[in-house]
Structure 1
Amino acid sequence: MPKLIKNQDIIDDNYQLLETAPAADQPLPEGNLLVPLADWLENQQRYANHQGSVGVWLDSHEEPELLASQVQSLPVIAINFPQFTDGRGYSTGRLLRERFGFLGELRAIGDVLRDQLFYMARCGFNAFAIRADRCIDDALNGLKDFSETYQAAVDQPQPLFRRRMQAE
C-alpha cells in the first residue's frame, strides 16, 4: 500500500486515485476513491451510492468555486501539482481553506517534493502524496525546515510582528 504524509505522520494511503472514471456500465473499484472533479460533478449520484468514501481531485487549472457549496460534504480534496514549477495549487488550497471553509483533508498530489511541503502546509495542505521516486521519510523533514514564519498564512493567521507585540 502506498504511503502518505498526513498531519505530520507517515501513514498508509487508503484512497485509490482514479486518473479517469470507469465507464458508466462498469462498476466502481472497491474502497475509498479520489475521483476527477469533472467526473464527480457529472456523476454525483453514482458516487453517493458507493460503499467507500469518495473524495475529489482538482487539476491545477480547475477552479475551486465549482465545489464551493459542497466542500463540507467531502472527506478529502486533492490538488494536482502536475510539475514542480506550477504553483496554482497553492492558491487553490488557500481558497478552499479561507474562502470556502474546507476543514477536511487537503492533499497535494502529483509532482510533490520535499522543498514544497513547508509552503504547502502554510497554504492549508495537511496531507502530501510524495512523488514515488523520492524518500517519504526525508520529505517529512521538509515540514520542519523553518522554525518561524513572518507572514500571515492559513497555518498562522498572525504575522510575526503582531505575535511579538502580544508577547510583550
Structure 2
Amino acid sequence: MPLLEDGRLRPDPWASVDDDVPLPDGPVILGLEQLRREAPALARRNAPIGLALPPETAPAEVAPLLGLLSLVALRLPKAKDGRAFTQARALREYHGFTGEIRATGHVIPDHYAMLLRCGVSTVEVPEGADPAVWDACRRVVDIGYQAALSADAPLSLLRRRLRVA
C-alpha cells in the first residue's frame, strides 16, 4: 500500500515479515515477540528495523527497544479505536522516539489531522487513494484546543473568545 506523508503519496520501502521467515535485505517491520527474542542479533543488522506495535501494548513496554527502531507501525483495528493516537503521542512525548510513526489499518481521511497532531508521520492508505481528499480533510479544522506534537500552536482561551466575537 502507498504511504501518505506531508499530503503526498510515496512508495513503501518496508517489508513486513512474519515470525518464521528469514529476514530479507532492506528495511523490515517485525512483530513484537520476534523483536524481543532477536534484539541482540538485530542490533548488529545494517538495515533499518521497524516494529508493528499491537494496539493493546503500552509504549512503555517497548521503550528499551526503541533505540533499535527506525519505524513504529501503529494499527487502528477500527475507526472508533483511538489507542493508536495515544500510543503515537506517548512514543513521541514520553519516550522521545524520533523515527517514523506509521498509522495502518482502518484509517480514514477524517483521522489524518489528529494523527499528525499526535506525532504520526506517515499513513498507510488504500491503493488509488486521492491525496487531495486526505489533505482537504486535514485542513477542515485548522485550530486545536490542546497542545500537540505538530508545529501548530493551540488556540488559547483569549484567542477563542476573540474568534467568537
1:143 aligns with 2:138: yes
Mapped partners of 1:42, 1:52: distance in 2 = 18
Aligned to 1:37: 32
Mapped partners of 2:57, 2:99: distance in 1 = 19
State the Cα distance separating 1:136 from its structure 2 match: 4.1
Name the SS of the counterpart of 1:160 in structure 2: coil
* Alpha carbons of structure 1 residues 30 and 76: separation in structure 2 relative to 1, 3 Å: same
Aligned to 1:155: 150
Mapped partners of 2:151, 2:127: distance in 1 = 31
TM-score (norm 1): 0.82
Mapped partners of 1:3, 1:65: distance in 2 = 29
State the Cα distance separating 1:61 from its structure 2 match: 0.4
* Alpha carbons of structure 1 residues 35 and 124: separation in structure 2 relative to 1, 3 Å: same
Mapped partners of 2:152, 2:129: distance in 1 = 31
Mapped partners of 1:74, 1:163: distance in 2 = 41
State the Cα distance separating 1:11 from its structure 2 match: 1.0
Mapped partners of 2:135, 2:26: distance in 1 = 26
Mapped partners of 1:17, 1:66: distance in 2 = 21
Q: Quick one: which of 91, 108, 113 aligns to 1:96?
A: 91
Q: Quick one: which of 38, 44, 48 aligns to 2:43?
A: 48
State the Cα distance separating 1:140 from its structure 2 match: 3.6
Mapped partners of 1:67, 1:7: distance in 2 = 27
Name the SS of the counterpart of 1:71 in structure 2: helix
Q: Quick one: which of 60, 80, 83 aligns to 1:85?
A: 80
State the Cα distance separating 1:146 from its structure 2 match: 1.9
State the Cα distance separating 1:56 from its structure 2 match: 0.8
* Alpha carbons of structure 1 residues 150 and 17: separation in structure 2 relative to 1, 3 Å: same
1:13 aligns with 2:12: yes
1:118 aligns with 2:150: no
Consecutive unaligned residues of structure 1, counting only runs of 5 or more, are none
Q: What percent of counterpart residues are identical? A: 26
State the Cα distance separating 1:69 from its structure 2 match: 2.8
Q: CA RMSD in A?
A: 2.4
State the Cα distance separating 1:162 from its structure 2 match: 6.9
* Alpha carbons of structure 1 residues 17 and 162: separation in structure 2 relative to 1, 3 Å: farther
* Alpha carbons of structure 1 residues 39 and 136: separation in structure 2 relative to 1, 3 Å: farther
Aligned to 2:100: 105
1:5–1:140: 8 Å Cα contact kept in structure 2? no
2:49–2:68: 8 Å Cα contact kept in structure 1? no
Aligned to 1:70: 65
Aligned to 1:127: 122
